[in-house]
Chain A
Amino acid sequence: MLALEMYRSPAKYLAAKAVGGRIPGILTGPAAPLRLVTINEPKADRDGWARIRPILSGICGSDLGMVTGSTKLYFSAMVSMPFVPGHEVVGELLDDCEDLPKGTRVVMDSVLTCAARGVEPCVGCSSGNTNRCDRITVGHVAPGLQTGFCHDTGGGWGNVMVAHRSQLYAVPDGLSDERAVLTEPLACAVHTALKAKVEPGQSVLVSGAGAVGLFATLALRELTQAGRITVVAKHARQRELARAFGASDVVAPDEVFRGVRRATGAFRLTPEMGREFLLGGVDVAVDAVGSKDSIDTVLRVTKAGGRVVLSGMPSTGADLSPVWFRELELTGTYASALAEPNDKPAFETALEIAAKAPLDGIVGARYPLYRWREALDHAQSAGRLGTVKVAFDVRAS
């Protein structure tokens, strides 16, 4: 089968890390540790496993982080090289899978939990917090925090992949492939919105208006009674979508302090050296970027005792003084869980949102696998180009 394969190449990894920020083109060119190859199909020879033919497979920020070398080495112990990336997948079952007959359209919760690995449930899995699984490197599947980072399962960027029944959700008939492929990132947003524990009327800041930020905004509006939601958006299309998804205000990155101060009636202070900060601010802030600047900003505009949710894969070097001085509650949200505070799996809620939210046109570009360089280039510049999600059209490959 045809697939894009991520392979181990310390030289390319270091090269990407060194020059990636300055010359993005090189990451999708010669320095990319990614190649289009013909490989054997992954095997689904254990109970509960089935083959899937991906239809659409999204390109996630974490995929780009991996290609560009900005993913931390922290994750290196939880992947098994080489692997086929792609964890935002809508596909078709090629085999019967327990109660799901062959041919069913499915989406996939990519976390490879204890159930998928055939081991005794860990504390996380037994409590329904499947995204906190402690067994992601053991069992009968090669190490991999998710499908798309695991050698044995394949991924959405290939013609065939395998998945366990515990990961699968059938797609309702009326839901288009373009909407269904958004289920995984929407489920993450659902998890973020619920984990943010926003109380009725509380003010929220969402920093970033890429897919993660926009979907978090949508989920916050759908699932909480948040008061004012302020979204930080850089590009015109992002501003437009943020409003459509429920933002009360949209501010530019250089207007965050002013915008939040105005929205919350906070006090704005500027230290002798360093960035300004607020006394007062939003009740809850969601960082959907992960950059040092963004994390620094959300920490500085959250009111004392407020909550900061890191939803984007975080960078290092942020100043944690506000966490200490303002007694902030700092938490992260990774993937999504089976048992969410609204008593149903995040994927089910995500499928409901995917059916009714204004998501037409969100998949702004589809590429066959062999045009992967263009696809990644496009995804890298998605915000600037007015695109939210770029996906591989695997059947066209």
Chain B
Amino acid sequence: MDDRTPPLLVHNGEGFLLERFPLGTRVVYPPEALPPVRDVEEAIQNALLNPLESEPLPELLRPGMRLTIAFDDISLPLPPMKKPDIRQRIIEAVLTMAADAGVDDVELISANALHRRLTPNELREIVGERVFRSFFPDGKLYNFDAEDTENLTHLGQTKHGEDVEISKRAAESDLLVYVNVNLVAMDGGHKSTSIGLASYKSLKHHHNSHTMIHSRSFMDHKASKMHHSAWRMGAVLTEHVKVFQIETTLNNDIFGGPLEFLQKREWEWSIKDQAAMLAAKRGLDLAPAKMRHRIFTDVRSNYGLTGIHAGKIEPVHEKTIENVHRQHLVEVQGQSDVAIMGVPFVGPYNVNSVMNPILAACMGLGYYFNSYRGNPVVRKDGAVILYHPVDYEFSQLHHPSYVDFFEEVLSESTDPATIEAKFEKQYAEDPWYIHLYRTSYAYHGVHPFYMWYWISHALDHCGDIVWVGANRKAVERMGFRSASTLQDALEMVSHSVGRSPSITYLHNPPHLLADVR
């Protein structure tokens, strides 16, 4: 920031604002969108016919075999993709090859682990009309159910004693094809199968406060303890199941049409962009909450495919990570005293829903804080300033256990290890949450705990966490502080970072991965 820098756009839930940052603030923008693959169909065919360290897919298919296709659920990509979804295209290609090979025992599973079930419409959006009509009515396209004990298989334990328990259908298939969308470096690899298709018995080994606090960062699978565990489980899993992994990477082309200005740097805004921004901002400010929510829920992104690789999990994932880094990595020289982040309207767990306070915290302090390689953007004991209204707003349909977690657990303690020890088991085994997870569209009872564990690294690392413009009571319940303005927030953190702190503003979304040197 210097004298000539215009106010910068900051995402703030279902809206955004223009903020004038202190002079000298370092702004980290996401990289420009990479040029997409020109012929997606050709790229898919190429990946399936020329896989890495594997026979071509048609050679793995034979009549009479059991084929299971698992795919990433609605939590990816963010925001959702314009039709046709890349998963639809890949699944159609795989199914065509399977049909050519005479395979008729095929099932498709949404790998939602403890996430909520997808509605039929949401499944249709991912797999497309043709696949949906062919498989859903017969019960051959469905959500994974981590509580359906009869349909889980325990494959064994890792050398660290971690249980590997996954979908029985996947475990007993002759071939498991996994169709992935890799939006950020955290996704894919062994995380796809050994987490996406796993039960609580498996997940608890790495989705816990100890592992997560030592996962530095989630975006670097070689430094993330959670990923280490998933990789160990993956080794056990692939001993029993033949997996054909298909991973795709997307570019940063998130906002189009009237929201295209969100992709550009502010000083590059044309008159048209400025007008669009003013119209959007004024319109959103005036719109009733329901309409604003609808506008953002309906956002669909263009996304261009930057790569598709198939074959054995590890080499495929190496290629994927290369592509993700090519798109997201931004070199950042040194840590700063203060990191500022705007939390947008959508995160992985509130697609077609509302971002409740815990999810807002997870988005800011779990995802954005962990979007680094090497070191966090903010120094140890530095301050993080976040923007989000943090309204006291919960979806009883999607997040019933979140309300109780917020009211009961956080009123007792905000320390991840303490709440894990005292409350996690109760929530994980609560019959009502299990019932809602299995029969309604609710996240599993234990899910809010995982969200809270995600922020444990940030809680441990940061000296101060302040939310600007947030609901004071909701923020206080989570153990944070709120400020009315950025100036107030900086004043509040001045006791720990001084009155002239170095400040970095992470200008996302679109996504970025700070390579802090």
A interface list, Cβ under 8 A from B: 255, 258-259, 261-262, 265-268
Contact A255-B435, Cβ < 8 Å, known A262-B430, A265-B430 = no
A268 CA to B403 CA, complexed, in Å: 14
Ordered by A's residue number, 17 sampled pairs between the chains whose C-beta atoms are within 8 Å are: A255-B407, A258-B403, A258-B404, A258-B407, A258-B408, A259-B408, A261-B404, A261-B432, A262-B404, A262-B408, A262-B430, A265-B426, A265-B429, A267-B431, A267-B432, A267-B435, A268-B432
Query: Which residues of B lie under 8 Å from residue A268 when comparing CB positions?
Result: 432
State the Cβ distance, A237 to closest chain B Cβ, in Å: 17
* Chain B residue nearest in CB terms to A255: B407
Which one of A255, A259, A265 lies within 8 Å of B432 (CB-CB)?
A265
Query: Which residues of B lie under 8 Å from residue A262 when comparing CB positions?
Result: 404, 408, 426, 430
Chain A CB within 10 Å, residue with most, of B403, B429, B432:
B432
A261 CA to B445 CA, complexed, in Å: 13
A265 CA to B403 CA, complexed, in Å: 15
| SS class, residues of chain A in contact with chain B | helix
A250 CA to B429 CA, complexed, in Å: 22
Chain B CB within 10 Å, residue with most, of A255, A258, A262, A268:
A262
A268 CA to B408 CA, complexed, in Å: 17
Per-residue A-contact encoding for B284-310, CB less than 8 Å = 1, 0 else: 000000000000000000000000000
Number of A-B contacts (CB under 8 A): 22
Query: Which residues of A lie under 8 Å from residue B403 when comparing CB positions?
Result: 258
- B residues contacting the other copy or chain, number (CB 8 A): 10
State the Cβ distance, A291 to closest chain B Cβ, in Å: 23
Q: Is the CB of A266 within 8 A of B432?
A: yes
A255 CA to B406 CA, complexed, in Å: 12
B interface list, Cβ under 8 A from A: 403-404, 407-408, 426, 429-432, 435
- A258-B403, A267-B435 are known contacts; what are 13 more A-B pairs with Cβ within 8 Å? A255-B407, A258-B408, A259-B408, A261-B404, A262-B404, A262-B430, A265-B426, A265-B429, A265-B430, A266-B432, A267-B431, A267-B432, A268-B432
Q: Is the CB of A265 within 8 A of B407?
A: no
* Chain A residue nearest in CB terms to B400: A268
A275 CA to B430 CA, complexed, in Å: 23
Query: Which residues of A lie under 8 Å from residue B408 when comparing CB positions?
Result: 258-259, 262
A266 CA to B430 CA, complexed, in Å: 8
Closest 10 CB pairs between A and B? Answer: A267-B432, A265-B431, A265-B430, A262-B404, A262-B408, A258-B404, A268-B432, A261-B432, A265-B432, A266-B432
A262 CA to B402 CA, complexed, in Å: 12
State the Cβ distance, A359 to closest chain B Cβ, in Å: 27
* Chain A residue nearest in CB terms to B403: A258
* Chain B residue nearest in CB terms to A266: B432
Query: Which residues of B lie under 8 Å from residue A259 when comparing CB positions?
Result: 408
State the Cβ distance, A267 to closest chain B Cβ, in Å: 5
A261 CA to B436 CA, complexed, in Å: 14
* Chain A residue nearest in CB terms to B409: A262
A265 CA to B407 CA, complexed, in Å: 16
State the Cβ distance, A315 to closest chain B Cβ, in Å: 28
Query: Which residues of B lie under 8 Å from residue A258 when comparing CB positions?
Result: 403-404, 407-408
Chain B CB within 10 Å, residue with most, of A255, A259, A265, A267:
A265
Query: Which residues of B lie under 8 Å from residue A267 when comparing CB positions?
Result: 431-432, 435
A255 CA to B404 CA, complexed, in Å: 10
* Chain B residue nearest in CB terms to A268: B432
A262 CA to B431 CA, complexed, in Å: 10
A259 CA to B403 CA, complexed, in Å: 11
State the Cβ distance, B422 to closest chain A Cβ, in Å: 12
State the Cβ distance, A205 to closest chain B Cβ, in Å: 15
A17 CA to B407 CA, complexed, in Å: 38
Query: Which residues of B lie under 8 Å from residue A266 when comparing CB positions?
Result: 432
Query: Which residues of B lie under 8 Å from residue A255 when comparing CB positions?
Result: 407
A259 CA to B426 CA, complexed, in Å: 13
A259 CA to B435 CA, complexed, in Å: 18
A364 CA to B438 CA, complexed, in Å: 52
